[in-house]
């Protein structure tokens, strides 16, 4: 469900107002009754809530939201638009419950709503985001963040670290670039793309112009690409970062390996998000975040808790609907006999 102080409960009920979701899967919300009831009210939804104890009890009937109530939040325990220790703790526990059910194969995947990193840290859980939580609690050492809009797919070598640390990690650990290429191949295969075409972005301007602007390409990125190519992976690069995303959106590549967080996030959000400045709202929020390399399926919205509009009924659920669709697509590939 995400952080109750943000838009997580609202986009959950709005996403489950979409009949197509129920035609592709049996959705179950992990969260709390009170935030969901309030979200139904301010979103002006006539959907009903049905509390269950386990995923196996879900009816999967459009018009009724099956939900597992962790009963962690009562009325007044949190404040919309505010970083709250209580809602941060609750959102962390929702994640752990989702991981537990998926690891036990009682669900085919987990789709996460937005959490507030400050809130979960305030609650004593020191993680930089969902990705790191999932990696630790599934015992995963090699994993990556895949972002996808309708026009572009990007996987990252480094994510939630400073720019200085990102540069140092790439310079000192070329195997991280190699791992990201493997994960890009794995991710595309999960999406049904055989022999994906992978572009690997450079780190420096113009991919260093043969060493004029840095040597990370020569020392780390090129060796990783060449090693993967010898294994039959269709990886190319380092492609200059100022043109690689244009080429990918034109269809030359299936996925781009980005070196650091903003190198990949900025073009992805430019390709999928649209904002109406006068109305102060997003008119489109296409984008899905998937963690690749886990023993379970995990997808997520590609946006934050949006405190500025929390509790107002004007949040956009598009990214969550897409995240559910991608999780279903991956589950169909991983569990072909799933019913």
pLDDT digit string, tens, across residues 24-58 = 999 999 999 999 999 999 999 999 999 999 999 99
Q: What whole-number percentage of the chain has pLDDT above 70?
A: 98
Using the predicted structure, report yes or no on whether residue 286 has a pLDDT greater than 70: no
pLDDT in tens, 160-171: 889 999 999 999
Pick from 219, 220, 225, 167: nearest CA to 200: 225
pLDDT in tens, 63-109: 999 999 999 999 999 999 999 999 999 999 999 999 999 999 999 99
- Band (pLDDT 50/70/90 cuts) for residue 278 is confident
CB 302 within 8 A of CB 326: no
Q: How many CB atoms lie within 10 A of CB 322?
A: 23
- pLDDT, the chain, mean: 93
Residue 124's contacts (CB-CB under 8 Å, 6 or more residues apart) are 89
């Amino acid at each position: 469900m995400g952080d109750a102080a943000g838009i997580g409960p609202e986009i959950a009920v709005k996403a489950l107002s979409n009949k197509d979701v129920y035609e592709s899967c049996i959705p179950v919300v992990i969260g709390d009754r009170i935030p969901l009831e309030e979200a139904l009210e301010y979103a002006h939804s006539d959907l009903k809530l049905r509390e269950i104890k386990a995923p196996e009890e879900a009816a999967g009937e459009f018009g009724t939201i099956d939900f597992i109530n962790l009963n962690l939040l009562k009325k007044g325990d949190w404040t919309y638009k505010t970083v709250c220790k209580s809602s941060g703790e609750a959102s962390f526990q929702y994640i752990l419950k989702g991981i537990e059910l998926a690891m036990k194969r009682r669900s085919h995947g987990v789709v996460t709503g937005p959490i507030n990193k400050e809130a979960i840290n305030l609650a004593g859980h020191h993680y930089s985001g969902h990705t790191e939580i999932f990696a630790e609690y599934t015992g995963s050492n090699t994993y990556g963040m895949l972002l996808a809009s309708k026009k572009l797919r990007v996987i990252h070598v480094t994510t939630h670290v400073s720019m200085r640390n990102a540069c140092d990690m790439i310079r000192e650990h070329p195997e991280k670039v190699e791992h990201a290429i493997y994960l890009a191949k794995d991710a595309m295969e999960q999406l049904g793309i055989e022999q994906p075409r992978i572009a690997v972005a450079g780190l420096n301007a113009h991919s260093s112009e043969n060493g004029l602007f840095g040597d990370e390409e020569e020392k780390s990125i090129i060796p990783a690409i060449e090693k993967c190519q010898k294994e039959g992976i269709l990886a190319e690069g380092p492609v200059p970062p100022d043109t690689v995303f244009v080429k990918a959106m034109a269809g030359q590549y299936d996925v781009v390996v980005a070196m650091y967080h903003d190198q990949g996030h900025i073009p992805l959000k430019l390709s999928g998000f649209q904002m109406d400045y006068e109305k102060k709202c997003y008119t489109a929020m296409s984008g899905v975040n998937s963690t690749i390399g886990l023993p379970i399926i995990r997808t997520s919205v590609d946006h934050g808790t949006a405190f500025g509009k929390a509790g107002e009924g004007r949040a956009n659920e598009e990214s969550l609907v897409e995240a559910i669709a991608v999780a279903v697509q991956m589950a169909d590939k991983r569990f072909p006999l799933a019913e």
